[in-house]
Structure formats: C-alpha cells, structure tokens
Amino acid sequence: MKKLTIIIAILFSIFLIHNNQEELLIIPNEAIRIRVIANSDDEKDIKIKEKVKDDLNRTVNNILKDVKGIDEAREKLENNMSLFTETVDKSLKEENIEEVFNINYGLNYFPSKMFQGVKYNEGYYESLVVTLGSGKGSNYWCVLYPPLCLIEENYENKEIEYRSYIKDILNKYF
C-alpha cells in the first residue's frame, strides 16, 4: 500500500510539473518582438519570407547589438524605420519580387504559440512587424530585445535532450 501511495504521489507531481511548464512564459514583460508574415503558404512565398527575415534580422541585430536598455532599443528602432524598409525592399528586389509590404512598429497582435513546451499567449505586444503581400501565410517571430532568438540560433549542438529527474527515478525502479 505504501508503494502505491508513493507511486501516485510521484505521478501527481509529474502532472503538476508538466502543467506548470506549459504555462511558463520566458519572455520578459519589457520585451520587443519581431514578426515577419508571408504573403501565403506557397513555397515561393515562404522562401521570400525566410530571406526577408534573415536580412532584416541582420540589420536589426547590428543596430541593437550594443543597446543597454529597452528605452535605448525603442529609440534605435524608431530612428531606423527607413533602414528597415530599405532592407526589406532590397531583399525583395534581390529575388526579383515586386511585392507590396508593410512595416509597423508599435503594439501588434500575435497569435498564441507553443514552442519547446512553453506556451506564449496571444495578445498585443510591442513589436516590429513586416507583412508581405496579403499576409495570409505562415509567420516567423521571436524577441528582438532582449535577443532571445539569438540564443537558440547560436547553439552549435541543436540536439538538446530534456530529461525529467522524476521520470529517470521511475524508469530506474519500475
């Protein structure tokens, strides 16, 4: 009976830990996001979105690389909107695309998202958003400030194993 009680307690603990992890938000309250939305989910449009995202990220990251606080990040983003427009325009021209696009910096809507077991709630967030064409396609988003996406992109070994201590104990004895 004592073993059964311990097993139930462990399983209940695993359930609580799992549920708490899904509600954990790792994005700070004072953060600035970036979002690039494709014209459609057509393979060509997704490829264009990826090019725009890569080029824009390089430009933005270069501008924000020495930023010391969110107010400075806001100022630099606001002061470089024309550069961001030029970057997107150049990316499209390099692909011989004459697509309309819109760039907005301010409060923009983000849908909810699950990523690596973490739920990011939908809502309006301070962000730099680029909408390509009709903006009906898949989107890319991450956090510009603090630069959370850069942490993930710079891992040399992308095969990270996440383990549960409690699960390891259960596997050892059962």
Q: How confident is the model at residue 71 (pLDDT cuts 50, 70, 90)?
A: very high
Please check whether residues 14 and 37 belong to one and the same domain. no
Please check whether residues 8 and 40 belong to one and the same domain. no
Q: How confident is the model at residue 141 (pLDDT cuts 50, 70, 90)?
A: confident
Please check whether residues 95 and 166 belong to one and the same domain. no
130 φ, ψ (degrees, to nearest 5) = -115, 125
Please check whether residues 144 and 130 belong to one and the same domain. yes
Q: What average pLDDT does range 89-94 have in this prediction?
A: 95
Please check whether residues 61 and 119 belong to one and the same domain. yes
Q: How confident is the model at residue 79 (pLDDT cuts 50, 70, 90)?
A: very high
Please check whether residues 18 and 100 belong to one and the same domain. no
Q: What average pLDDT does range 73-89 have in this prediction?
A: 96
| Residues 77 and 105 sit within 8 Å (Cβ to Cβ) | yes
Please check whether residues 76 and 38 belong to one and the same domain. yes
Give the pair of three-digit tokens for residue 106.
């301010």
What span, in angstroms and rounded, lies between the C-alpha atoms of 129 and 50?
Answer: 14
> The sheet that has 101-110: what strands, in order across it?
101-110, 123-132, 32-37, 139-145
Residue 79 lies in domain: 28-153
Please check whether residues 91 and 147 belong to one and the same domain. yes
pLDDT given at position 25: 47
94-135 confidence digits (pLDDT tens): 999 888 999 999 999 988 887 677 778 889 999 999 999 999
pLDDT of residue 90 exceeding 80: yes
User: Which pTM does this prediction carry?
Assistant: 0.69
Please check whether residues 38 and 90 belong to one and the same domain. yes
Q: How confident is the model at residue 144 (pLDDT cuts 50, 70, 90)?
A: confident
pLDDT given at position 155: 33
Share of the chain above pLDDT 90, in %: 48
pLDDT given at position 10: 64
Please check whether residues 43 and 128 belong to one and the same domain. yes
Number of domains forming the structure of the chain: 2
Please check whether residues 63 and 45 belong to one and the same domain. yes
Please check whether residues 85 and 32 belong to one and the same domain. yes
Going from the C-alpha of 51 to that of each of 103, 123, 125, 169, the distances in angstroms are 16, 26, 24, 46
pLDDT given at position 23: 43
What span, in angstroms and rounded, lies between the C-alpha atoms of 33 and 127?
Answer: 4
24-51 confidence digits (pLDDT tens): 446 777 889 999 999 999 999 999 999 9
Element (H, E) at 130: strand 123-132
Give the pair of three-digit tokens for residue 162.
């996440």
pLDDT of residue 152 exceeding 90: no
pLDDT of residue 81 exceeding 60: yes
